[in-house]
Structure 1
Amino acid sequence: MAKSDRRRLCHLEQIAPGQSLGFRKESTGPDDIFLVNDGGNIYGYKNSCPHWPGSTMPVRKNRYLDSESSHIVCSGHGALFEISSGLCIKGPCTGLRLTPVSLEITEMKEIFLLEEPHP
């Protein structure tokens, strides 16, 4: 089995606790994935609401959290998701989950996206 490709996203210091940060693969267009720092724990998900796959979640760049920074929110549908699990707890997709992405945080506190190799 081929080893996953790594793509550097950012340094841990670039995403403060209670903040979210989006990233895109192309130079233009919506973010493909986003990270959330929940009390020092970093979680990553695809930027796609399970209620309407492919629809982006933030109303503005890097705005993936509610005003209390306690839940991920889909601005289009009003759905609320647990940060640690991606589980929708309120809204039209209750019981569904965000799609997590694989991350690696190095000793130097660099955050990498682990991408599956292309066939």
Structure 2
Amino acid sequence: MKFLCAGTELAEAASRGFEVNGNKLFAVRRNGQAYVYLNRCPHRGVGLEWHPDQFLDPSNSLIQCATHGALFLIEDGECVAGPCAGQSLTAIACREDAQGLWIDV
């Protein structure tokens, strides 16, 4: 397991990008639960963020790709709209404890 960040560094309904061992990742918190994905759109293989740490749509309810506007469910990474509908983001196994957020590498 590799330490990603303190739990307080990932606010509710917020997202944050990371680089771990050369891999670009991002984390999102929704309803108190943290989710971590590879920062790579299944459509073109590009990074998803609009600006650093901005991976969500304006309502903060879906992950949005800045390149072509694909929308993904926060809970499982499934693309529900856009050019890669039916495909999914690559989930990274994670857990959270009193120290913070950890990922399986």
The answer to whether the superposition gives a TM-score over 0.5 is yes
Q: How does 1:1-119 map to 2 (within 5 A)?
A: 6-25=1-20, 32-53=24-45, 55-106=46-97, 108-115=98-105
Moved over 3 A (4+): none
Q: Distance in 2 between matches of 1:109 and 1:41?
A: 15
Q: Distance in 2 between matches of 1:74 and 1:33?
A: 14
Give unmatched runs, 5+ long, in structure 1. Answer: 1-5
Larger radius of gyration: 1
What RMSD over aligned residues (CA atoms) do the two structures have, in Å? Answer: 1.4
Q: Distance in 2 between matches of 1:65 and 1:83?
A: 9
Q: Distance in 2 between matches of 1:109 and 1:25?
A: 18
> Residues 38-73 of structure 1: CA distance to partner in whole angstroms, max 9, x if unpaired?
0201111000000012x1010211000011100000
Give unmatched runs, 5+ long, in structure 2. Answer: none
**Identity fraction in percent:** 33
Aligned length: 105
Whichever structure has more strand as a proportion of its residues is 2
Letter of the structure 2 residue corresponding to residue 78 of structure 1: G
Query: What secondary structure is seen at the aligned counterpart in 2 of 1:24?
Result: strand
